[in-house]
Structure formats: C-alpha cells, structure tokens
Structure 1
Amino acid sequence: MSRLEGQHVVLTGAAGGLGGLLAERLRAAGARVTGIDRQSAAGCNEAIVCDLSSIAALEDLTDRLRNRRVNVLFNVAGLQYFGPIERQGPTGIALGYAVNLVAPAILSAALVPQMIERGEGQIVNIGSVMGAVPYPYFTAYSSAKAGLKGLSQALRRELHGRGVQVTHIAPRAVRTGFNTPLIERFMAASRMNADAPEQVADRIMRAVEQRAHDVSIGMPERLFTQLNALMPRVVDQGLTKQIATARALFA
C-alpha cells in the first residue's frame, strides 16, 4: 500500500502538463488531491482557482488551507521566461519570482504549523536543474529556482526532528506546453536533453514515497551541478556554444 493512501495533498500547478500527471498518480495512490491553478484542474478531487502571483489571493488561500488537514504540499506551479532579462520587463520579472519562489514560501509557512503539531507532513518543491546550474537567458527563472532550492534546504534544517520532510526535486527540461516555440527551437539547436513528462512524474512520485531530500533528474545535469558548485568557470566554458546559440535567436 502506498504511504500516500488516505493523505490530503495540496498541489499547485495542477492544471499544467506535469501537475495534471501528478494529480492522476496521486489519486491512483489513494490520496485526496486539492488542485490549485489559475484555471480549474479537472483531474483533482477539488479544484481551487487562484492567482499565485497575487499576495491578496495567497492570503485568502492560506486562510482556507489552515483550517484543513493537509498532509503533503506539492509546490509545482511555475513561470518561465526565455530571453534577455532587459526584455522581460518589471512586471514579468516580479511575476516569475512571485510564482516560482514567493508562493511556495508563503504556502509552506501557512501549513508547517499544523504539520509540526501532528508530528508528520511533507513539503515537495519542484525546482529545476537551472536552479543549481544558473542558465543564461533564463536568468530570472534560474535565480528563482536557486532560491527555491535554498528555501527547501533551510526549511529542512529548520524542521529537522519534527516529523516534517522537505523534498526538493530538480528536473531538467520536460516536454510539456511549458516550453514556448522559441524554447523548443533553442533546445533543438543546442541539443538540450528533454524528458517525457510521464517519466518525470513517475520519478517525482518515487522521491515522494521515499521521502527523499534532494533529487536531480538526469546524469549529465547532476555532473554539471557538481562542477558548477566546485569549478564554475569550467561550466562557463561549457556553456559557450549554448550562449552563442541563444544570443543568435535574439539578435
């Protein structure tokens, strides 16, 4: 029997390509899923429409969730921008940080007290390999995901010994509608690896079942993560061709 049997899971980004697959798998494992997204998530037991970039909307959402027993929080929702940072604009940059980093922090803070009181719970943050290897032309996205990795590690240490696990999972590129046509062109031109969303959803589910700490998907990406931590200049050199490819798209 799955350890998720009978658990109440709150899942952000539930209407997305990866979020929808996770909702299906969570329900198949016996969990009751409350999906949160900008549009109704049909594959969940309950759907809450919420703009995660709005502080007012997040305040309303956290008020609702505090009064419910939540066993697992899945922070999956994300926004991605590909291009020169000066073209993203103030609103776009702020929206990206709000959804990718601020919302997970606020939702975690709202649900941690009840998890501590029960002595059990799990927070699952879906990051990106770009959070460990910050990628040019994904600058705001990469730095927000780096922040999410830091949030996960700090919160895990804060909750140590209190029965609450924090799981951070960093996929590489996933073949979903999250990728714009321009990103698809860049991925093809730079020969960037991309995984099937079903494969990524299965790997995420295994990590959650195992209550893993940090999981990075993709062997070359794990190597680049280690290199970037120890010898960032080597990674600088390794990304030279990809930078040139991206720069040519925006010339």
Structure 2
Amino acid sequence: MSRLEGKVIVLTGAAGGIGSLVAARLQTLGAHVTGVDRARCPDCNDHIVADLADPQDLAQLAERLTVFPVDILVNVAGLQYFGPFEDQPANALRTGYLVNLVAPATLISAVLPAMRRGGSGQIVNIGSVMGSVHYPFFAAYSSAKAGLRGLSEALRREVQADGIAVTHIAPRAVRTAFNTAAINRFMTMTGMRADEPGFVADQIVKAIVDRRKDVSIGALEAFFMRLNGLFPRLVDVGLAGQAKQARRLFLP
C-alpha cells in the first residue's frame, strides 16, 4: 500500500502544466487531491476555484482550510516576471509576491494548527533554483522564492518536534507555458537547460512520498546553489555573461 493511500492533499496551481501532472500522479498513489486554481482541475478529485492573487479569495480559502482535513499541503502555484526590475508595474510586483510567497505562507498558517493537534502532516513548497542563485532580470521572482526557501527552513525547525515534515523542492527551468517568449529566447541564447514537466512532476511526487527535506533538481544547479551560499561574488562573475545577454533583450 502506498504511504499516500487515503491522504487528503490540497494542491495549489492544480490546473497548471506541472500542478496537473502532480495531481494525477498523487491520485494514482491513492491520495484524495483537492486542487486550488483559478480554473477547474480535471486531474483532481475535487477543486476549489480561487485566485491566490486576490486578497479576499486568499483569506476565504485560508478560512476554509482551517476546518478542512488536510494531511498534505502542496504549494505549486507561482508567477514569474522576466525583465528589468523597474519595468514591472507596481500591481504586478505585488501580485508576484502574493502568489509566490504570501499565499503559501497564509495557507500554511491555516492548516498548521490541525496538523499540530494531530501530530502529523506535511508541507510541500515548490521553490526554484533562483531562490538560491539570484538571477538578474528575475529579481522579484528570485527574491520571492528566496523567501519561500527561508520560510521552509525556519518552519521545518519549528515543527519537527510535532511530527510535521516540511519539504522544499527547487526545480530549474521547465518547459511549460509558464515561460514567456522572452524567457525562451533567453534560454536559447544562454544554452540554459529546461526539464520536461513530467520529469519534474515525478521528482516532486517522489519527494512527497519520501518526506524529503530539500530537493534540488539538477546536479549542476545544486552545485551552484551551494557555491552561491559560500562565494556569492564568484557567482556574480559567472552570471555576468548571462546578464549581458539578457540586457540585449530589453535595454539599448
């Protein structure tokens, strides 16, 4: 029997390119998956239609989850902006931080009391390599994902005595509609590798089943994450070429 048999899982971003694949895989392992997204999720057992960028929707969802029997919360939903930081409109900047950081934190806060009382549970946060290796022209996204990584680590230390696992997964680039035409051009220019969504979904599900703490997808990316933590100025030099290429897409 799968460890996930009969588990109630709430999955944000469930209608997206990665979320839908994760939802389908979790169901095959016997989990009951409730998807959260702005659209209905055909790969889930049931769904909650909500816009995580809308503070009212987010508050209502959080209130609903306080009385919802959640065994595992999986925060997949995300937004990505690529371009000069100053060109990002203020409302888009707020939306990015809401979806990438505030929403996961809010939903975690909603489900945590019941998990503590039950002495079990799992929080799964889908971050990014860019949360550790902070890329130029992805400044808002990188900083939000850095916050999510910090939240995951601090929370893990806080709840480990309560039987609750906290899993943080850092994918590299993925071939989904998440990528704009500019991002695709940038990846081509720099030779950046992008994984297939199915591969990433498999890694996420495996990390959930194994209750892993930290998972970085890509050996080279994991190396640069460690290197950036130890020698960030060295990584500055290494990324200078990619920053120059990105500038060509946006700046004279």
> With structure 1 as the length reference, what TM-score do the two structures score?
0.99
Task: Quote the Cα distance in structure 2 between the aligned partners of 1:244 and 1:68.
Answer: 48
- In structure 2, how many angstroms separate the alpha carbons of the residues matched to 1:232 and 1:61? 39
Confirm whether residue 105 of structure 1 aligns to residue 105 of structure 2.
yes
The aligned length equals 251
The aligned residue for residue 33 of structure 2 is 33
* SS of structure 1 residue aligned to 2:26: helix
Match of 1:224 in 2: 224
| CA distances 1:31-77 after superposition (whole Å, capped 9, x unpaired) | 00100011111111111111101221111112222222110000000
Instruction: Tell me whether 1:240 sits opposite 2:220 in the alignment.
Output: no
* Whole-angstrom distance in 2 between the partners of 1:68 and 1:92: 31
User: Secondary structure of 1:43's partner?
Assistant: coil
Deviation at 1:171, TM superposition (A): 0.3
Q: Secondary structure at the match of 1:195?
A: coil
Paired with 2:27 and 2:14, the residues of 1 have a C-alpha distance of 12
Partners of 1:68 and 1:125 in 2: CA distance: 19
Offset from partner CA, 1:114-149 (integer Å, 9 cap, x none): 001111100000000000101110000000000000
| Code of the aligned partner of 2:61 | L
TM-score normalised over the length of structure 2: 0.98
Equivalences for residues 33-182 of structure 1 within 5 A: 33-182=33-182
Distance in 1 (alpha carbons) for counterparts of 2:97 and 2:62: 19
- Residue 2 of structure 1 deviates from its aligned partner by 1.5
CA distance in 2, matches of 1:189, 1:68: 46
Which amino acid in 1 is paired with 2:77?
A
Give ranges in structure 1 of 5+ residues lacking alignment.
none
Identity %: 58
Residue identity in the other structure for 1:81: Y
Give distance in 2, aligned partners of 1:162 and 1:244.
47
Map 1:185-204; keep pairs closer than 5 Å.
185-204=185-204
Alpha-carbon offset, residue 23 of structure 1: 0.5
Letter in 2 for 1:58: L
Q: Which amino acid aligns with 1:109?
A: S
Secondary structure of the 1:159 match is helix
CA distance in 2, matches of 1:97, 1:63: 20
Cα distance in 1, alignment partners of residues 112 and 54 from structure 2: 21
Runs of 4+ in 1 over 3 A off after TM superposition: none
In 1: Cα distance, 2:233 partner to 2:60 partner: 45
- Aligned-partner Cα distance in 2 for 1:49–1:68: 15
In structure 2, how many angstroms separate the alpha carbons of the residues matched to 1:144 and 1:98?
Answer: 9
* Amino acid of the structure 2 residue aligned with 1:134: H
- Alpha-carbon distance in 2 for matches of 1:68, 1:144: 27
CA RMSD of aligned residues (A): 0.7
1:8 counterpart = 2:8: yes
